[in-house]
């Protein structure tokens, strides 16, 4: 049982950009703007020109319902859009179309790996809104002489997922974000690698204080850092006899600190009211069909992998924690031995990718199959296989070429046998130690054999041969 000594309560508001939709949420502009010049994907509607009117993108509503269902939420009967009124240069209409009462879905949960095992985090609501434009400052925000506005992003569909304050540590917050992103990727509704795809605001309080809302968090790691800083700050305030007040704070990513933006007294009055230009939408009828089409989600896939492939739960979890890895694994396991595939993908390939900050796309499944095939036919050693994987990632080529170039083909048994005999002759101390009962002395003999065979011997086989000759 996790004690949570400081009474930490964390709730997250995650903005997910539906960047896999073809068009924006209220107009026909293309969402594929990331490599195009500023203000090249705009029209009267997303520029908020006088007289323009929004029309809801039904695919965006479908995606929002998908998300609601995947987060175990209840999809509402009716949904309604509201105006959130505030002035900001990136907001071309002077209000944001969002939701208030009657969000698309509410009252769900997801399971994460918590401080003390499986932990449930409630989902308050998941609602739809439009993205504002993007401000580009010349230099830094406080010293900038001018600011440019790019409205390409304006009107992109966003889903805001609000969690209950159920996370008890920054680590849990990070795991929640990882899990959420994973689920969203399974739904195939957004590309998390695109700029601005997932943005986080965090609410955090500790026992004896009010909550602070932290804005401007742009990564999972950033969220963890910001929350860690914030716990220390709030504890220090309380320790000095101060009061932790309700306020909005800004995360300075470079300095890894949070700075006060405005207090509760200065909070905006957004003057929400129903958007007259969008009629209420009856969506209760949409949910069943969407539920039918919902893809297999990470938790279900993890259970299936254990059952279908007989692999360990830890491996299944690691394989399913990224949708692309899970797909990669299933393609490999269709041809190669599923258990061995799981071991090599989880324990070796993922680590090597991580070390190089690469994604699974950097490795071809054909190469994985070749490496496993070489291993299974005992043509290479395990060390050789690792070497091939590293070389493929660093220099490219094909496994067969690498084997040839590096001379990684496993040596024949009689060569190992000869090397073992030599090793016994050359290391009388180790031999007598072993015979005196020191099992570890065998390791230095194995090492000697490996040295003589330039690593091409199979270490396990060398050990067996040595034992035979010493026995």
Which residue from 95, 229, 305, 434 is in contact with another protein, where contact means CB under 8 A?
95
Give CA–CA dist 56/290, Å, rounded: 18
Which residue from 117, 276, 285, 437 is in contact with another protein, where contact means CB under 8 A?
276
Give CA–CA dist 87/393, Å, rounded: 49
**Span of 48-56, 121-129, 403-411, 461-469 interacting with another protein by CB under 8 A:** 48-56
Is 148 one of the binding residues for another protein (CB under 8 A)?
no
Nearest approach in angstroms of CB 103 to another protein is 19
First-to-last C-alpha distance (Å) of the chain: 51
Backbone angles phi, psi at 95, to 5 degrees: -155, 155
Backbone angles phi, psi at 75, to 5 degrees: -85, 130
Between 145 and 239, name the residue whose CB sits nearer to another protein. Answer: 145
Which residue from 7, 44, 242, 468 is in contact with another protein, where contact means CB under 8 A?
44
Is 136 one of the binding residues for another protein (CB under 8 A)?
no
Nearest approach in angstroms of CB 273 to another protein is 6
Between 273 and 355, name the residue whose CB sits nearer to another protein. Answer: 273
Strands of 82-85's sheet in order across: 95-98, 82-85, 273-274
Is 85 one of the binding residues for another protein (CB under 8 A)?
yes
Is 288 one of the binding residues for another protein (CB under 8 A)?
no
Between 46 and 424, name the residue whose CB sits nearer to another protein. Answer: 46
Between 41 and 168, name the residue whose CB sits nearer to another protein. Answer: 41
Q: What is the tally of helices (H) and strands (E) in the chain?
A: 16, 16
Give CA–CA dist 150/152, Å, rounded: 6
Which residue from 74, 271, 334, 451 is in contact with another protein, where contact means CB under 8 A?
271
Give CA–CA dist 338/332, Å, rounded: 8
Surface-to-core class of residue 355, CB atoms within 10 Å of its CB (0-12 exposed, 13-18 middle, 19+ buried) = exposed
> Other CB atoms closer than 10 Å to residue 275's CB: what's the count?
20
Nearest approach in angstroms of CB 98 to another protein is 13
Which residue from 24, 41, 83, 301 is in contact with another protein, where contact means CB under 8 A?
83
Encoded one letter per residue, x for contact with another protein by CB under 8 A and - for no contact, window 53-72 reads: xxxx----------------
Q: How many residues bind another protein (CB under 8 A)?
A: 28
Between 101 and 314, name the residue whose CB sits nearer to another protein. Answer: 101
**Span of 82-90, 163-171, 328-336, 421-429 interacting with another protein by CB under 8 A:** 82-90
Q: Interface residues for another protein in 349-388 (CB under 8 A)?
A: none
Nearest approach in angstroms of CB 279 to another protein is 5
Which residue from 4, 52, 398, 417 is in contact with another protein, where contact means CB under 8 A?
52
Nearest approach in angstroms of CB 204 to another protein is 25
Give CA–CA dist 307/377, Å, rounded: 27
Is residue 70 within 8 A of residue 183, CB to CB? The reply is yes
Nearest approach in angstroms of CB 16 to another protein is 24
Is 263 one of the binding residues for another protein (CB under 8 A)?
no
Nearest approach in angstroms of CB 21 to another protein is 18
Give CA–CA dist 463/446, Å, rounded: 6
Is 261 one of the binding residues for another protein (CB under 8 A)?
no
Compute the half-sphere exposure of residue 113: CA atoms within 13 Å on the CB side of its CA.
10
Nearest approach in angstroms of CB 92 to another protein is 6
Between 39 and 218, name the residue whose CB sits nearer to another protein. Answer: 39
Surface-to-core class of residue 244, CB atoms within 10 Å of its CB (0-12 exposed, 13-18 middle, 19+ buried) = buried
Calculate the CA 48 to chain-centre distance.
34
Which residue from 30, 49, 314, 376 is in contact with another protein, where contact means CB under 8 A?
49
Residue with tokens 């999809």: 75
Give CA–CA dist 29/157, Å, rounded: 11
Q: Which long-range contacts (CB under 8 A, 24 or more apart) does 388-393 make?
A: 389/348, 389/349, 389/352, 389/363, 390/352, 392/363, 392/367, 393/352, 393/353, 393/356, 393/358, 393/362, 393/363
Residues lying near another protein in the complex (CB under 8 A) are found at 44, 47-56, 83, 85, 87, 89, 92-95, 147, 149, 269, 271, 273, 276-279
């Amino acid at each position: 049982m996790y004690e949570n000594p400081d009474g930490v309560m964390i709730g997250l508001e995650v903005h997910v950009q539906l960047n896999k939709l073809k068009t924006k949420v209220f107009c026909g502009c293309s969402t594929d703007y990331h490599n195009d010049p500023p203000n090249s994907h705009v029209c009267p509607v997303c520029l908020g020109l006088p007289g323009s009117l929004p029309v809801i993108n039904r695919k965006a509503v479908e995606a929002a319902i998908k998300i609601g269902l995947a987060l175990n939420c209840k999809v509402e009967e009716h949904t309604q859009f509201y105006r959130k009124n505030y002035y900001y240069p990136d907001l071309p209409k002077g209000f944001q179309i969002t939701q208030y009462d009657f969000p698309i879905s509410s009252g769900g949960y997801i399971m994460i790996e918590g401080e003390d095992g499986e932990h449930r985090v409630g989902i308050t609501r998941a609602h739809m809104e439009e993205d504002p434009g993007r401000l580009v400052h010349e230099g830094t925000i406080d010293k900038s002489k001018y600011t440019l506005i790019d409205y390409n992003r304006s009107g992109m569909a966003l889903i805001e997922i609000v969690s209950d304050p159920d996370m008890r540590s920054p680590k849990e917050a990070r795991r929640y974000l990882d899990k959420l992103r994973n689920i969203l990727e399974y739904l195939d509704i957004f590309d998390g690698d695109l700029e601005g795809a997932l943005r986080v605001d965090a609410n955090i309080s500790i026992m004896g204080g009010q909550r602070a809302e932290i804005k401007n968090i742009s990564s999972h790691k950033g969220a963890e850092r910001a929350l860690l800083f914030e716990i220390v700050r709030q504890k220090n305030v309380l320790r000095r006899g101060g009061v932790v007040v309700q306020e909005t704070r800004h995360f300075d990513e470079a300095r890894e600190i949070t700075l006060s933006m405005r207090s509760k007294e200065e909070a905006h009055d957004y003057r929400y009211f129903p958007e007259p230009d969008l009629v209420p939408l009856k969506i209760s009828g949409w949910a069943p069909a969407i539920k039918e089409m919902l893809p297999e989600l990470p938790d279900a896939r993890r259970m299936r992998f254990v059952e279908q492939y007989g692999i360990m739960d830890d491996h299944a979890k690691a394989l399913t924690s990224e949708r692309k890895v899970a797909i990669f694994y299933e393609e490999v396991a269709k041809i190669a031995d599923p258990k061995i595939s799981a071991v090599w993908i989880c324990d070796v390939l993922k680590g090597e990718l991580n070390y190089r900050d690469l994604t699974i796309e950097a490795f071809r499944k054909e190469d994985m199959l070749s490496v496993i095939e070489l291993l299974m036919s005992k043509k290479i050693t395990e060390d050789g296989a690792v070497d091939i994987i590293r070389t493929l990632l660093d220099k490219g080529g094909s496994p067969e070429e690498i084997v040839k170039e590096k001379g990684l083909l496993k040596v024949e048994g009689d060569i190992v046998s000869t090397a073992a005999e030599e090793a016994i002759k050359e290391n009388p101390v180790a031999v007598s130690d072993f015979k005196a009962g020191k099992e570890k002395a065998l390791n230095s003999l194995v090492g000697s054999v490996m040295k003589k065979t330039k690593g091409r011997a199979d270490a396990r086989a060398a050990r067996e041969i040595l034992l035979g000759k010493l026995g």
